[in-house]
Amino acid sequence: MASATLLHLDSSISPSGSASRALTARFADAWRARHGAAVRHRHHDLAADPVPPVDAAFDALGRRVERKGILPLDDIGRLAEGPDEVGEWERSRPLIEELRAADILLVGSPMYNYTVSTGLKAWIDRVTFPGVHHDPETGRPLLRETRVVVVAVRGGGYGPGTPRAHCDFQVPYLRAYFDRIGIAPENLHVVTAELTRAADIPALNALQPLAAESLAAAEAALDELAATLRPRPTTAG
């Protein structure tokens, strides 16, 4: 059997005691155990080893590419002008290719200020180069069969019906983003864990039973996904 690739992103700024890191590790360990030697596990800690933010050279090259339409990656490189644009493309292309090669994308996303972390946003910006996730000849989304597991962790409560539900710009943003780059709706799995700060924030202490329920539900959902998600179907050559 061909190797399957699990691309695992953690973006919590907390190196220890992170609920999102614990949950992504739980899924990764279970999925790797299920698929054994056939798994390549690529892990990026976007806080400890951040992706450089995009800059004006990235923007200039991207605009030039957009005017040409959807291009093969080699052609994009040939359009780069000057060392700054070349450098931006050299930083971007390996991350784009890594995403395109992944069978499973596992994203640990803690909520910071109602949205995603700086580290995760930098990775998103870097891999979202114009046209790179569509086939140059057919326009077909190249990531249609990629399975995405988002672990969305929040210190407070932002679920439907809660007083701060309208402040959740984390999960809606990620859903819109993955839809934009061509992930099929049925292949996007969002698992949330709420109230993870209930034990150490006095105002949330009374909600600890709800926090425990939310964490247990997230763990169960990830266990089920690890048992049922399969690598992308291969295309006959």
What distance in Å separates the CA atoms of residue 27 and residue 104, rounded to the nearest whole number?
11
Whether the pLDDT of residue 236 is over 80: the answer is: no
237 in a domain, yes or no?
Answer: no
Say if 38 falls within a structural domain: yes
Tokens, residue 200: 């150490």
- Quick: pLDDT tens for 116-166: 999 999 999 999 999 999 999 999 999 999 999 999 999 999 998 899 999
How large is the angle between the packed helices 19-35 and 208-228, nearest 10 degrees?
20
**What pLDDT does 234 receive?**
66
Task: Give bridge partners of residue 72 from the DSSP assignment.
Answer: none
Mean pLDDT rounded to a whole number for the chain: 94
Residue 132 lies in a domain: yes
Domain contains 234: no
Is there a domain that residue 152 lies in? yes
For the stretch 51-55, contacts whose Cβ atoms lie closer than 8 Å and that sit 24 or more positions apart, written own/partner, are 51/91, 51/95, 51/119, 51/122, 51/123, 51/126, 52/91, 52/122, 52/126, 53/122, 53/125, 53/126, 54/88, 54/92, 54/122, 54/125, 54/126, 55/84, 55/88
- pLDDT(207) > 80: yes
| Domain-located, residue 233 | no
Domain count, the chain: 1
Residue 130 lies in a domain: yes
pLDDT at residue 237, as a whole number? 37
| CATH code for the domain in which residue 67 is found | 3.40.50.360
**Res 215 pLDDT > 80:** yes
Q: What percent of the chain is modeled with pLDDT above 70?
A: 97
Summarised one tens digit per residue, pLDDT across range 20-52 is 999 999 999 999 999 887 789 999 999 999 999
